[in-house]
Amino acid sequence: MIPATTSTGQLLADLKSTTAAVQNKDWLSAGLGGASTALDLLGSTGNPLSAITSAGFGAVTELVSFLEEPLKQLTGDPSSVSSSAQSLQGAGQDVTSVADSYRKSAGAETTGWSGAAASQYRDTGARNADGIAAIGQASTAVSAAVSGAGEVVAQVSQAVTELVNEAAGKIITIMTQALAAASATFGASVAAAIPQAVEIAVEYGQKIAAKMGTLLNSSQALLQLIQSVTQTVEAVQQVMTQLGGSSAQGASTSGQDTGTTGTTGNSTSSSALADDDSPEGLTVTVTLGPTSKASKVDHTADA
C-alpha cells in the first residue's frame, strides 16, 4: 500500500526523469550509440555470404554459415515498431492534454471558494491532475523505449552485416588465390585454404558475438527503466484511488456536520496494465466522470 502522503507530483517528476533517461539512451552500453540508424534495416533480408557462393565456393559457404545466424535473430518488422511507437506517443500526448484541461477546470470552478474545504478540494484536484499527467508521461516513456530499441537493433544488424561482408571478402580472396595455385599443387592449396577460411569465420564470429553481447546488456538496462515506469504507474494508480476515497469521505462528513449542500466536481481515475514481456503491452485508460460532493461550507460567494 502506498502511503497517503505520497505526492503524485513527485511520481510525475520521477517519470519525467525516467523518460529523459530512455530518450537520451542512457541505457546504451559502450560500443553502441552514435548516429541514428534507419529502422528499415530491421527488415533487411540480404544474404552477405551469397558472395562466397557466387564466387564459386558454395562448399565453403556451408562451413561458415553460422556467421549469418545473428542476422536472422535481428530481423524484425520496422513498420510495426514505428506504428507502435507513434501510437504510444499519441496516447501520451492525449492524456497529457486531458491532465492540462482538468487542472485548468478545477481551478476555474473554485475561484470564488475560500476556507479549508476549498483549499483541500483544489489540492486534491492538483494531485489528480498530476496523476493523469503521470499516466501520459508513462506512455511517452514506453514510446521512446520502443523506437529507441528498434533503432539500436537496426544499428547492430548493420554492424553485423558489415562484419559478415568483411569476412566474406577475406575468405573469397584466400580461396581465389588457392584455386589459382590448385593446378600447380594438385589441389593441395585449396585443401590448405579451407581451414584458413573457417579460421577467419571464427574470428569474425567472435566479433559478432561481442556486438550481440553489448546489445543484450543494453536491452537489460532498458528493461530496468521500463520496469521502473510500470512500478511508478502502479503507485500513481494507488495514490489516486486513495485520493478518490478520501475525497468522498471528507465531503460526506462535512455535509453531515453542517447540513449544507455541496457541488459536484470532477474526479479522475486511472489504471495501467503492463505486459512484462513486451513494452507494447502497456495499456492506459483514463476516465473522467462525476464524483463525490465537495463541501461549500466556507464558500463566501452569494447563495
Q: Which residues are 284's β-sheet partners?
A: 272
| pLDDT attached to residue 165 | 96
| pLDDT attached to residue 252 | 47
pLDDT of 287 strictly over 50: no
| pLDDT attached to residue 281 | 37
The more confidently predicted of residues 134 and 246 is 134
Phi/psi of residue 145, nearest 5 degrees = -65, -45
| pLDDT attached to residue 42 | 77
169: number of CA atoms within 13 Å, CB side? 6
Question: What is the maximum span of the chain, computed from C-alpha positions, in angstroms?
Answer: 112
Tell me the average pLDDT of the chain: 81
Average pLDDT estimate for 210-219? 94
Q: In this structure, are residues 147 and 22 in contact, taking their beta carbons and an 8 Å threshold? A: no
How many other CB atoms are found less than 10 A from the CB of residue 104?
11
Give all domains of the chain, ordered by start, each with its CATH number. Answer: 8-250+264-295 (1.20.1270)
| pLDDT attached to residue 262 | 38
DSSP 273: E
d(CA 207, CA 4): 53
pLDDT of 279 strictly over 50: no
pLDDT-derived band of residue 285, with 50, 70 and 90 as boundaries?
very low
Q: Which of 252, 299, 258 is nearest to 122 (CA)?
A: 299
Rg, the chain, Cα only: 30
The more confidently predicted of residues 12 and 35 is 12
| pLDDT attached to residue 119 | 85
Average pLDDT estimate for 156-164? 94
pLDDT of 269 strictly over 80: no
pLDDT of 298 strictly over 70: no
Average pLDDT estimate for 218-232? 96
Q: Which of 281, 233, 228 is nearest to 95 (CA)?
A: 233
pLDDT-derived band of residue 106, with 50, 70 and 90 as boundaries?
confident
Return the percentage of the chain with pLDDT > 70, whole number.
Answer: 77
pLDDT-derived band of residue 163, with 50, 70 and 90 as boundaries?
very high
pLDDT of 296 strictly over 50: no
Average pLDDT estimate for 106-117? 82
Spacing of C-alpha 70 from chain mean position? 23
Return the percentage of the chain with pLDDT > 90, whole number.
Answer: 58
pLDDT of 220 strictly over 80: yes
18: number of CA atoms within 13 Å, CB side? 28
pLDDT of 302 strictly over 60: no
